[in-house]
C-alpha cells in the first residue's frame, strides 16, 4: 500500500484541512493517509479546543485512515523540534510521502533554500545573532538574516508560518536520512493567522476559534467546517458544556505564579533569561489571560513563545523532561480498516513500540502525556473527570 503522512493539529478540522487531505491523496496516489496529530496542547502554546479523541474522530470521519499522537515533548516545541518529532514518527511508520501545506506550493524552493542556508551557515548565524542583539525574537531574526543573505533570489519566503514548518519538515527528513519523499500543496484562501472568517468556505483555524470564543455557538462557523466536524463539536459541547480556551486555565495559571518562587520557575522549560521575574510581576496585575499576555509580550519574546512557556508552567514541565531527541513510542489514537491493515502489514518492520492502550504504557514519556491530560481536564470544571477517565480507558477509535 502507498502511504502518505500528514502532520496536523485539527483545532478544529475545517474545510481547508479537508482540501489538504483530498489533495494529499490525489497528489501521492496514496492508499493510506497517516496523520500525526498533536495531543491536548499545541505547537503555538494553546490548549486544543476539544480533546485529542474528539479530533481523532473528526479526522477519521473526514477520511484519514490512521491517527497517531505527537507526544507533548514535541507538540509543544518550537518549529524545529516539532518537525523533528513528527517526521521521525512518520519515517518510523515507513510512510512513502509526507505532504504538507505551504504558502509556496513548490517543493523545489524548500530543498533549494535548505541548501542555500547550509552553504552560508556561518553568515546566516552571524546575522541571526546580530538581529537578536537588537532585541528581536529568534523567528524574526532568522527571517531577517535570510533576507539579508538572499533578498533577490527565488527562494522560500521564510516569513510565512507554513513555509517555516515545511522548511523544518524537509530539513528533518534530510538530517535523519529518511527515504520518505516530501511534497507540498499550496495553501489557498485563508492565511494561517487570519483573525476573521473568510467570505469563502475555507477559513483559518485561528478565525474559527476566535469566532467560537466570542459567540460560543457553532452557527457562525458551520459553513466553514465539514458536517462531521460540526457533529463532533456539537457532541463535545453537549458533553462538557464548554470548549477549552486559555481563559479556562487562567485561574490555575495565576495560582501557579502566586505560589512559585523565581528559582522554581527558572527550572521550567522555555523560561529563560530572567523571564520568570516578568511573568510573576504581571501575573499579579493581570485580570485575564489575554490581559496578562498583552502585558508580558515584548519584541524579543513572541506571543507564541510566551504561550508555550505558560503551558509548561501550568503543567510544571521542567527542562529535563523535554530533552528527548526523538519520540520513543507510537501511540495509536484511531484507525479505519485500511489503517488497521497498514499497521498489521508494517508492524514487524517498525522499530518503535506501538501503544494502543495505557496498560502497555510503562515509559516515562507516556506517563507525562497522561499527566498532561489531567491538567487539560481543568478546563472543564466538574466534567473534567470525564477527560481523565477517557485518557486512561480509551482504546484506539475504530471507524468502519
What does the pLDDT profile of the chain (400 residues) look like in tens digits? 999 999 999 999 999 999 999 999 999 999 999 999 999 999 999 999 999 999 999 999 999 999 999 999 999 999 999 999 999 999 999 999 999 999 988 999 999 999 999 999 999 999 999 998 888 888 888 888 888 887 667 788 888 889 999 999 999 999 999 999 999 999 876 545 555 565 567 888 888 999 988 877 888 899 999 999 999 999 999 999 999 999 999 999 999 999 999 999 999 999 988 899 999 999 999 999 999 999 999 888 889 999 999 999 999 999 999 988 999 999 999 999 999 999 999 988 998 999 987 766 666 667 888 899 999 999 999 999 999 998 888 899 999 8
CA–CA separation, 168 and 336 (whole Å): 30
- Closest-CA residue to 99 (of 196, 175, 29, 199): 29
Rounded Cα–Cα distance for residues 184 and 182 (Å) = 7
Same domain, 58 and 132: no
Q: Is 398 annotated as a binding residue?
A: no
pLDDT value for 254: 96
Last residue of a domain, one of 301, 320, 339: 320
- Give the per-residue pLDDT at 32: 98
Determine contact, residues 335/1, Cβ cutoff 8 Å: no
Same domain, 146 and 293: no
110 a known binding residue? no
Q: Give the per-residue pLDDT at 146.
A: 87
- Annotated ligand binding at 225? The verdict is no
* 113 and 214 housed in the same domain: no
Helix (H) or strand (E) holding 184: strand 181-186
Residue 12, Ramachandran bin (φ over 0: left; ψ between -120 and 50: alpha; else beta):
beta
313 and 295 in a common domain: yes
153 plus 202 within the same structural domain:
no
Is 277 flagged in the annotation as binding?
no
Whether residue 215 is found in the same domain as residue 294: no
Whether residues 274 and 140 share a domain: the answer is: no
Known binding residue 9? Answer is yes
Binding residue per annotation — 187? yes
36 is in an annotated binding site: no
- The CATH number covering residue 98 comes to 3.40.50.620
**Per-residue exposure over 122-139, b if at least 16 CB sit within 10 Å of its own CB, e if not:** eebeebbeebbeeebbeb
Clarify whether residues 148 and 84 are in a common domain. no
Answer whether 83's CB lies under 8 Å from 168's CB. yes
C-alpha cell at 370: 497522561
Same structural domain, 27 and 121:
no
Q: What is the distance between the alpha carbons of residues 224 and 189, in angstroms, rounded to a whole number? A: 12
Residue 38 phi/psi, 5-degree rounding, is: -60, 155
The domain of 121 spans: 108-159
Is residue 262 marked as binding?
Answer: no
Phi/psi for 100 (5° steps) reads: -125, 155
- pLDDT score, position 88: 98
Q: Which of 92, 126, 159 is the last residue of a domain?
A: 159
For residue 2, say whether it is annotated as part of any ligand binding site. Answer: no
Tell me how many domains the chain contains: 3
* 19 in a known ligand binding site: yes
Instruction: Please indicate, yes or no, whether residues 154 and 175 belong to a single structural domain of this protein.
Output: no
pTM value? 0.92
For residue 386, give the C-alpha cell: 470525564
- My answer on whether 95 and 187 are in the same domain is yes
Question: What pLDDT sits at residue 363?
Answer: 62
25 labeled part of a ligand binding site: no
Residue with cell 483573525: 195
Residue 162 marked ligand-binding: yes
Q: Which H/E stretch holds residue 239? A: helix 227-240
18 is in an annotated binding site: yes
Residues 225 and 312 in one domain: no
| Secondary structure of 309-352 in HEC code, one letter for each residue | HHHHHHCCCEHHHHCCCCCCCEEEEEECHHHHHHHHHHHHHCCC
Cβ–Cβ < 8 Å for 313, 265: yes
Q: Is 188 annotated as a binding residue?
A: yes
Task: Report how far apart the first and last C-alpha atoms of the chain are (Å, whole number).
Answer: 19
Amino acid at each position: 500500500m502507498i502511504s502518505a503522512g500528514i502532520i496536523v493539529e485539527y483545532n478544529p478540522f475545517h474545510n481547508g484541512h479537508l482540501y489538504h487531505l483530498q489533495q494529499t491523496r490525489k497528489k501521492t496516489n496514496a492508499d493510506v493517509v497517516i496523520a500525526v496529530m498533536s495531543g491536548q496542547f499545541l505547537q503555538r502554546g494553546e490548549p486544543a479546543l476539544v480533546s485529542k479523541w474528539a479530533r481523532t474522530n473528526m479526522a477519521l470521519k473526514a477520511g484519514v485512515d490512521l491517527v497517531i499522537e505527537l507526544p507533548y515533548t514535541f507538540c509543544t516545541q518550537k518549529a524545529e523540534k516539532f518537525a523533528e518529532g513528527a517526521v521521525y514518527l512518520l519515517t518510523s511508520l515507513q510512510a512513502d510521502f509526507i505532504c504538507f501545506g505551504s504558502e509556496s506550493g513548490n517543493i523545489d524552493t524548500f530543498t533549494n533554500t535548505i541548501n542555500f542556508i547550509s552553504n552560508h551557515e556561518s553568515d546566516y548565524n552571524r546575522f541571526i545573532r546580530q538581529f537578536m542583539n537588537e532585541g528581536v525574537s529568534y523567528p524574526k531574526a532568522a527571517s531577517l538574516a535570510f533576507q539579508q543573505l538572499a533578498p533577490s533570489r527565488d527562494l522560500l519566503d521564510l516569513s510565512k508560518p507554513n513555509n517555516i514548518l515545511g522548511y523544518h519538515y524537509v530539513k528533518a527528513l534530510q538530517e535523519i536520512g529518511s527515504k520518505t519523499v516530501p511534497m507540498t500543496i499550496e495553501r489557498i484562501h485563508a492565511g494561517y493567522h487570519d483573525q476573521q472568517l473568510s467570505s469563502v468556505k475555507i477559513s483559518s483555524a485561528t478565525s474559527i476559534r476566535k469566532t467560537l470564543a466570542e459567540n460560543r455557538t457553532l452557527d457562525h462557523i458551520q459553513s466553514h467546517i465539514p458536517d462531521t466536524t460540526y457533529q463532533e463539536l456539537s457532541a463535545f459541547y453537549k458533553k462538557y458544556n464548554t470548549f477549552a480556551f486559555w481563559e479556562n486555565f487562567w485561574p490555575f495559571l495565576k495560582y501557579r505564579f502566586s505560589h512559585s518562587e523565581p528559582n522554581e520557575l527558572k527550572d521550567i522549560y522555555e523560561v529563560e533569561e530572567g523571564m520568570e521575574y516578568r511573568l510573576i510581576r504581571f501575573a499579579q496585575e493581570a485580570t485575564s489571560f489575554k490581559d496578562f499576555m498583552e502585558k508580558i509580550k515584548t519584541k524579543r519574546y513572541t506571543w507564541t513563545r510566551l504561550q508555550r512557556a505558560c503551558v509548561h508552567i501550568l503543567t510544571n514541565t521542567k527542562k529535563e523532561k523535554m530533552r528527548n531527541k526523538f519520540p520513543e513510542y507510537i501511540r495509536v489514537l484511531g484507525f479505519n480498516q485500511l489503517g488497521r491493515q497498514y499497521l498489521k502489514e508494517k508492524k514487524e518492520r517498525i522499530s518503535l513500540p506501538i501503544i494502543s492502550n495505557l496498560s502497555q504504557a510503562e515509559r516515562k514519556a507516556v506517563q507525562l502525556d497522561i499527566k498532561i491530560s489531567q491538567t487539560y481536564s481543568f478546563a472543564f470544571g466538574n466534567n473534567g473527570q470525564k477527560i481523565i477517565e477517557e485518557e486512561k480507558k480509551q482504546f484506539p477509535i475504530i471507524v468502519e
